[in-house]
A and B are shown apart, each in its own frame.
Chain A
Amino acid sequence: MVENARILVVDDDENIRKVLMMILQDEGYNVDMAGTAKEAIEKTRKNFYNLALIDVRLPDMEGIELLTKVRDTTPRMRKIIITGYPTIQNAIEAVNRGADAYILKPFDMTKVLTTIKEQLRKQQEEIRYSQEKVAEFIETRVKELEAEKIPQKRP
């Protein structure tokens, strides 16, 4: 599941997009790319991505703003912000808007990969947890319905 995870790289720098794709594909991920925020939104609407790497500065939109937009389309997607201008305010805002991790440029690739893996694992856990929740819910409901039948014996 993790190996086949789909990752969207959103960066206006083509070189970075290429390098990241190469490395991530090598690692066994399905990688898609977007150069603008607009493109990124469209892609997330059409496809499902497990994770997105979003540069904080995009030509048409601030990366942080994008976070909000993609949350509507793919709420479960893990979002990692990449920035070349690290400031505390920046970081806090990113997390508040729904970023799951924060990576500084120029990045140490090993560190980037570890972060991605960690995020995907968390996503898996979350999915499992929600599935368990649904199962639990159904089970409970069934039991309730069964229980309801008993008092319904009386006309």
Chain B
Amino acid sequence: MPNKMKENADLNHVLEKLHAFFDGLEDLVYVADPDTYEILFANDKFKEFFHGKITGKKCYEVIQGLKHPCSFCTNKYIFGENIGKTHVWEYHCRKKGRWYKCIDKAIPWPGNKNVRFEIAIDITQHKKTEKALTESERQNRILVEASPDVIYSISLDGKLASLNPAFEKITGWKCEEWIGKPFTALIHPDDVTKAMESFQKTLAGEPEPVELRVISKSGEYLIGEFTSVPMIEDGKIVGELGIARDVTSRKMYEENLQKINTTLQALIQAIPDIVYFKDAERRNLIVNNAFEKLVGLKREKIIGKTDEQIFPPDLAEQCRKSDEEVLKKGVTLRVEEQTADKKRGTRFFETIKVPIRDREGKIAGLIGVSREITERKIVEEKLREREEFFRSIAENSSDGIAIVNENQKIVYANDELAKITGYSTSEIVGQDFRKLLTEEGKSFFTNRKIHTQAKRQKEGRLRLKYELKILRKDGVEREIEARVATIRDAHGKMRAIVQVVDITERRKFEEERNRLEKRLSELNNYAKKLNTAKNIKEIYRLSLDAMEKTLGFEYASILMAERNTLNLVARRGYTKVFSLKLPLDGDKGITLKAFKTGRPVNVPDVRKDDAYVKGGEEILSELAVPIKIGNKVLGVLNVESRTFAAFNGEDIKLLELLASHIAIAISNLKNRGKLTAINTYGQKLSRAQSIEDVCKLTLDAMQKILEYDYVDIFLVEGKKLRLIKTIGLSYTPRMTLPLDGEKGVTVKAAKTGKPICVPDVRKEEAYVKAGMENVLSELAVPIKIGNKVLGVLNVESEKLAAFDREDKKLLEILASHVAIALSNIERTEKLAALSEKLENLMESSTEIMKIKDARRRLRKIAETIRSFGWRRVVIGRVDENLERKEIVTVGLTREEIKLLKEKQAPGHVWKERLGSKFERYRIGEFFYIPWRDPWIREHFFHIPPETSPENAIKYMNAVPSRLSEENMVDWHPQDMLYAPLRTPEGRIVGLLSMDDPVDGRKPARESLIPLELFLHQAAITIENAELMENLEKARQELQIYADQLEQKVEERTRALREIQEKLLRTQRLAVIGELAGMIGHDLRNPLTSISGATYYLKRRLEQNGDRNVIEMLELIQNNIAYSNKIINDLLDYSREIKLDITETNPEKIVNEALAVVEIPRNIRLIRKVSRTPKIKADFEKMKRIFVNLIRNAVDAMPKGGTLTIKSSKRGGKIQFTVSDTGVGMNEETLKKLWTPLFTTKAKGMGFGLAICKRFVEAHGGTITVESTVGKGTTFKVTLPTDPEMKEEGGEKIWLKTPESSLLTTTKT
């Protein structure tokens, strides 16, 4: 029991110690029994990490969540032989995503046993940093692995980016509650300023440890010691990374300091960094293995000694300084130490020293953690070198260069910058760069800092460029262009390099150019407006606007030439109203000078120019620019100023430009005016009633609008051009020019259909002097509709080249109006004529309708057509082939009619003439045949093409005209016109042709339209006549038919009677046949008996040898045989025929038949029977047919002869012939040949041919015979090769032998 009690007391003691030591620690610490795996101790952190009460539970359950011990738990490395040794390994907790360094060590435990002590240090941050470190080449190791407490990071915007679990433990907050929020909210309000300063310093690369009060969840303030470094990624500062230690609980460390035992030592030994504890006298109390390694001394030689005793003097001195500071001030220090030895050269260390306090809060010593940072130092050195290099470049640069630090202070400026700013470099350096800028520039940079620039630069990967204004020392503003780039200096601090160029001159030049461009573009705007100006006033107003507003002249005026003076028409800027008229032949006025020379006149001092005309104002300089089109000056633009030489080259240029726009606008406006006037005349012209009116109006327009002095109008009359009217002369000269002649410019215009402009008539051969003298130039414009020239408008002038393109255009427009007016008048006249004709037509139509006789009616139609102006008219009736049946002529002489009939074209020719070949000669329903067309001569009149037109008439296949060419206008005497006469259904029933027009003109469509009416009327007349004729014909036919009917009835009756008789005969024959069949049957039995009896007798009597008796008996026997044959034939004939159809061929049938019949030697056989075609037939019956025929033939040639059998194919049929050269048959025999029982032979086959006939007919064939007495007989058998079979066979049953009836008859 006492033992147990002691053990418990020991246990409590140990546990108490462990708690005191490790509960405050950020690392996970636990002690486990290696045998039972029970957790004996766990520090608060551990408990927190794995949640809840843990002591007493199995380690594998708690840590791994397993049911069985894992390889860690069973690892006995630290026990037994290795007792006292530490086992260090890394563990990655996937669940939390964190890395741990685990240190295992066996420690003694009450109850005389060793247990597993394990401490797990969170090295996730370390791992990350490690990773980051390997990635970056330029960067030093900037993250210090400090003793783990709260590790945090803050992004640039002051928000917490990360927190470790120690934060939660110490403050009671959850990490999630704070991540992403401003860190200042955690800080005691009084400490916020300090905190911000520290943050800025860290970001600026000058971190300083700071103590801040931090609020815990419970509301208590904890004292935290913050050590921080800038967080750098890819060379850019992205925030602050720091360690915060809760120094509130430091007392515990102080207390525990006294109680350091082997357990704690084990921990310290395990830490890879150099760790040492010192007392207040700076004696080393505890050092770890890393320390030993560093100094190269055994622990025993270190403990209890000061740094001076173990370190080289320089290092010892460095340590002493910081130690003393820590011990004296009680602050945590971060220091850099360096030492050099021969072996390893200069080495750098970064050390964090933290004071240790005792229970009373008195500083009892310190703890130090050191890390070697040599490598980082080397990198920093390199950076510094680079900075030097850069500086040398900057010195020699031709641009101004400044380096600005993060506090916007200029830390460096080169000489060039000094020149630009007017300050010396020493004056610039140290200044806020914004002081150099104008107010505008300052405000621009108020909210923009280097950071922003750096960030933007990072995003855009571009150098930043600003255009700013600076204020020089001498007060002059200059424009500069500043390019900004950021770099990091040796200390990792951000620096902005600003490259400055003075761009003031360049800017000025650009502005000048812009101003000119602006003036020009404004001027152009006015030009556009000018083009659309509606009147001259608007043009003046716009011009003055342009001069005042765009060009900026104080005094501006416009002068225009009018007859003999240059008149002031518009002005602006003048206070007094005045008018000005300068005689064109005077020498006063600068404007007049410009007008006369056609060039701008710039007078810098008017007092020195005699031409100057004094106006109201105190004018000193003047500029006049002419307004001109080509070389024609219309007026002058004038500007004046009260200063000397106010106008420069640019002003002249711009004013000239404006003047040209004005000139164009004025000329456009003028032309528009003329056009409007012409159009007004055009309207008047369209209402003109006579040609005379038209001419008068036209000349009026030419004179008044177009302002020509001498104007003429010519009109086409037939083949001539006649001068109708003239203005400008006191009389109208008579003038007629032949259109096909060479004389007259007007003729030329009429012929070509194009305006002819003659600038100098003396050089023009065609020129003809009319009435006017001294003509030098002339313009002639044709008046035309489509391609038809109606006349010519003509103007003449005493000047050379008086007419330009504009004149031509305007005159053409007028000419087109005139043309329309003339053609309107012409049409009106034509219409009047037409309506007269129509009236005539109406009258004729009613008259025509009254005539009943077709011929007379056609004649009336022809006469009416003649009255429409055609001397010769022919109407012909045609049949369906267009052959002329009858003609009606009007205006033809007897001889001509005779000739017409002789030369009448056949129907097919007319068909061609109405067909597509002549389609292009169609005018409405009519065909117009122009003799002059060679194609017509060849294809219509059929005159050989080589014949000359003069000789052609001789060959002409039509009635030649009596007229001569001279009487005609555009019709040739041999021309003709024809049209088909169509019924409403479109059938052609007649042809109309006409020629020799009274007016000698080619017909127009309009003049032919009324005639078309006659075409229909004529067609209907003919059609009606035809109908009447047909009706008459039908009536006559009907009469004939009625007459014949009676006779036909008689014939028919006779035929019927014959048929009836035949039918009766046939029926009788049928009854006889039936009877014969029955008799034949019943005769067989007695014949059998007779036959048998005869046989018996013959057998018996043969032995007696009486020849006569035997002969008689044989005679009986023969006759029995013949009787039997007759019976057989009779039965065959009377039996119903059933065909047994098989496929066979002619040769087979004939050969089989020949095999049955014996041909005597005296008969020659000729066989021409082929194997084809295959036929379908009853083979047995066919065979019998030929057996019969062959037998007959043989019988017919008792004295010998030739038997010929042939077969031949005829369509779907086959014909056999069986011919003999025998006795032949007379007509009487032939008639009865097919009758049954008829025979010419003594012992003939009475039924033979009758049966043949029946069999042939049963096959759907025919059998015929030809015979000549003494010459021979030929039978022809024709059979279908594939007979159509009826259901019951080939033939209907017409004879029946009811065998049952025989039964009864025999019985009796």
Measured CB to CB, the residues of A under 8 A from B are 12-13, 15-16, 19-20, 22-23, 26, 57, 59, 84-85, 105-110
Contacts and interface: CB of A to CB of B under 8 A. Distances in A.
B1091 interface: yes
A108 B1081 contact: no
A57 B1300 CA distance: 10
Interface stretch (B719-727, B799-807, B1092-1100, B1171-1179): B1092-1100
B1307 interface: yes
A108 B1085 contact: no
Nearest to B1088: A106
B1299 interface: yes
Contacts of A85: 1081, 1299
A23 B1087 CA distance: 16
B1095 A15 contact: no
15 contacts: A15-B1085, A16-B1085, A16-B1088, A16-B1089, A19-B1096, A23-B1095, A23-B1096, A23-B1099, A105-B1085, A106-B1087, A106-B1090, A106-B1091, A109-B1092, A109-B1096, A110-B1095
Nearest to A55: B1085
B1303 A105 contact: no
A3 to B, nearest CB: 17
A35 B1099 CA distance: 26
Contacts of B1089: 13, 15-16, 19
B1084 A106 contact: yes
Contacts of B1306: 12, 57
Given A19-B1093, A85-B1299, A107 B1088 contact: yes
B1081 A20 contact: no
Interface centre among A19, A84, A106, A109 (most CB of B within 10 A): A106
A85 B1088 CA distance: 13
Given A22-B1096, A23-B1096, A57-B1303, A15 B1081 contact: no
Interface in B265-312: none
Contacts of B1092: 16, 19-20, 23, 107, 109
B125 interface: no
Pairs of residues from A and B, 10 with the lowest C-beta to C-beta distance, nearest first = A19-B1092, A109-B1095, A106-B1088, A15-B1089, A84-B1084, A106-B1087, A105-B1088, A106-B1091, A105-B1084, A13-B1085
A106 B1096 contact: no
B730 to A, nearest CB: 139
Contacts of A22: 1096
B1086 A108 contact: no
Nearest to A84: B1084
A38 B1095 CA distance: 30
B310 to A, nearest CB: 132
B335 to A, nearest CB: 134
Contacts of A105: 1084-1085, 1087-1088
Nearest to A13: B1085
Contacts of A110: 1095
Contacts of A13: 1085, 1088-1089
A26 B1099 contact: yes
A16 to B, nearest CB: 5
B1124 interface: yes
Interface centre among B1086, B1089, B1093 (most CB of A within 10 A): B1089
A105 B1302 CA distance: 15
Contacts of B1084: 84, 105-106
A12 B1084 CA distance: 14
Given A12-B1306, A13-B1088, A84-B1088, 20 more contacts: A13-B1085, A13-B1089, A15-B1086, A15-B1093, A16-B1088, A16-B1092, A19-B1089, A19-B1093, A20-B1092, A23-B1092, A26-B1096, A57-B1303, A57-B1306, A59-B1303, A106-B1084, A106-B1087, A106-B1088, A109-B1091, A109-B1096, A110-B1095
A85 B1135 CA distance: 12
B1095 A106 contact: no
A85 B1084 CA distance: 9
A21 to B, nearest CB: 10
A20 B1089 CA distance: 9
A57 B1302 CA distance: 10
B657 interface: no
A111 B821 CA distance: 131
B1096 A84 contact: no
A59 B1306 CA distance: 10
A84 B1089 CA distance: 12
Contact of B1081 (A16, A19, A84, A109): A84
B1120 interface: yes
Nearest to B1090: A106
Given A23-B1095, A84-B1081, A59 B1307 contact: yes
A106 B1120 contact: yes
B289 to A, nearest CB: 117
Given A20-B1092, A23-B1096, A106 B1124 contact: yes
Interface string B361-403: 0000000000000000000000000000000000000000000
Nearest to A110: B1095
A27 to B, nearest CB: 9
A28 to B, nearest CB: 13
Interface in B1274-1308: 1299, 1303, 1306-1307
